[in-house]
Amino acid sequence: MTEEHPAARVAGRGTAVPLPDGQPFGARFRSWPDPGTTRAQVAGAGLSVLDLLLPAMALRQDALTHNAALMARWCTQVGVELAPHGKTAMSPELVRRQLDLGAWAITAATTGQARTFASWGVPRILLANEVTDPGGLRWLGEAVAGGLDILVLVDSPAAVRLLDEAMPADARIRALLEFGVPGGRAGVRTGELARAVAQAATAATHVRLAGVECFEGVAGHDRSDTDTGAVTGMLDDFTAVVADLVAEGAFAGEDELLVTAGGSSYPDLVVEAFGRLELPADLSVRMVLRSGGYLTHDHGLLERTSPMRAAGRHPLGRLQPALCLFASVLSTPEPGLAIVGFGKRDAPYDVDLPIPLRICNRASGVAGVRVERLNDQHAFVAHDDTLQVGDVLEFGISHPCTAFDKWTLLPLLDGNDRVVDVVTTQF
């Protein structure tokens, strides 16, 4: 990924070298202890978690490797492609892992993310969102003219028109019709509007309608019968729209139909819905999942909702939490209260508060230890006379999408908490 894709030169972008081997880290990586360290020196530095400047978010190497391989095997087994959502980590090193294991594309949510991925040399980008702002449309036109393979969503004739007008004279961009649900986010709500968007794309000079997209995660939040039923219902409506558009010739002239859905919580239900699609036997169909959080998993949100969670019975195995947060006890100012040195600036808190896993510096359990609230830099932790000033705790997190964005560098740990490499992010 150090080779520059031709399209990476548009809109002022340069070759991506996120962390050159010989360049000292400097002070911008807040958890790294020695600003003079270079990437080439990390593995031989002999550092452990207790050598870092705390708090520090880190990744477990074995879990990353396991999760990446597990998802790749499953996608191959069920006959779908994987276009993992790169917004989760915005990390060139982690995107490279996914591409090396056969990812068909990398998914972006914004033109800014897509531009970053192109600068890393990502060969195909699925921009799973509408683009309607002048700057974003201008970049899309330049990127397509520069040879970047990129797909974008549309859910209205107006969005099709804006895309059409933004493309240079000899360029055509592939678009996917976005399907949505009432009360959800973007996406057509009716078959009538879906047909109107398809007709607008057919009439456009520079837009090709290549397939249909949805994100089923807006219909559910857990694995209850109610939520999985709602997700299945949305997916059935989605596949019905796909079948109707195919029957009406909306994709005539396309070499293949692209059908894509799937976050990290319900990929199994997506695959089942794809299997219920009734389409002409001579139609080539590419089915694409866009899960992103599977790579790191977590101890909260995804552990409750993923089909590969610890409590699940997935035939290929279970995902393992890879993200971990380390912080020290700063004070025990009152009985039963410890102030720990991390806060909202360091850890995700939008779904669940971090979960205490262990005390790293001594043999003691964490039963009765729980995070009750966060300030910007402090955690209020309840305990049963368990914690002491200076203890270093490991926490699990919930929702990886709001963990990575707080860190520009995350140490990569082996099974003995030794630092063997680093992962960088570019938000």
| CATH code that applies to domain 1-61+297-427 | 2.40.37.20
> Which amino acid is it at 41?
Q
What's the pLDDT tens digit per position in 64-106?
999 999 999 999 999 999 999 999 999 999 999 999 999 999 9
Paired tokens of 187: 């996406």
* Sequence-separated (6 or more) residues with CB below 8 Å from residue 85: 106, 107, 108, 109, 128, 263, 290, 291, 292, 293
> Which amino acid is it at 40?
A
- Confidence (pLDDT) at 314: 77
**Could you count the other beta carbons within 10 Å of the beta carbon of residue 370?**
14
Q: Kindly tell me if the per-residue pLDDT of 14 is higher than 70.
A: no
Instruction: Return the CATH fold of 123-291.
Output: TIM Barrel (3.20.20)
Please tell me the distance from the alpha carbon of residue 203 to that of residue 83, in angstroms, as a whole number: 29
- Confidence (pLDDT) at 18: 67
Domain with CATH 2.40.37.20 in the chain: 1-61+297-427
Q: Kindly tell me if the per-residue pLDDT of 224 is higher than 70.
A: yes
Burial of 193 by CB count in 10 Å (0-12 exposed, 13-18 middle, 19+ buried)? middle
Q: Range with the lowest mean pLDDT among 19-23, 129-133, 135-139, 161-165? A: 19-23
What's the pLDDT tens digit per position in 283-314?
999 999 999 999 999 999 999 999 998 877 77
The predicted model gives 243-261 an average pLDDT of: 95
- Confidence (pLDDT) at 74: 95
The percent of residues in the chain predicted with pLDDT above 90, rounded, is: 89
- Confidence (pLDDT) at 310: 82
Q: Kindly tell me if the per-residue pLDDT of 196 is higher than 50.
A: yes
Torsion of CA 324, 325, 331, 336, to 10 degrees: -40
* Sequence-separated (6 or more) residues with CB below 8 Å from residue 221: 227, 305
Paired tokens of 127: 């921009």
Are the CB atoms for 269 and 291 separated by under 8 Å? Answer: no
Q: Kindly tell me if the per-residue pLDDT of 10 is higher than 50.
A: no
Higher pLDDT, 80 or 1: 80
Q: Range with the lowest mean pLDDT among 147-156, 260-269, 321-330? A: 260-269
Q: Range with the lowest mean pLDDT among 76-85, 315-324, 331-340? A: 315-324
* Sequence-separated (6 or more) residues with CB below 8 Å from residue 21: 38, 39, 40
Domain with CATH 3.20.20.10 in the chain: 123-291
Cα dist from 169 to 10, 142, 208, whole Å: 17, 11, 14
Of the pLDDT bands very low, low, confident and very high (cuts 50, 70, 90), residue 399 is very high
pTM across the whole model: 0.94
Of the pLDDT bands very low, low, confident and very high (cuts 50, 70, 90), residue 7 is very low
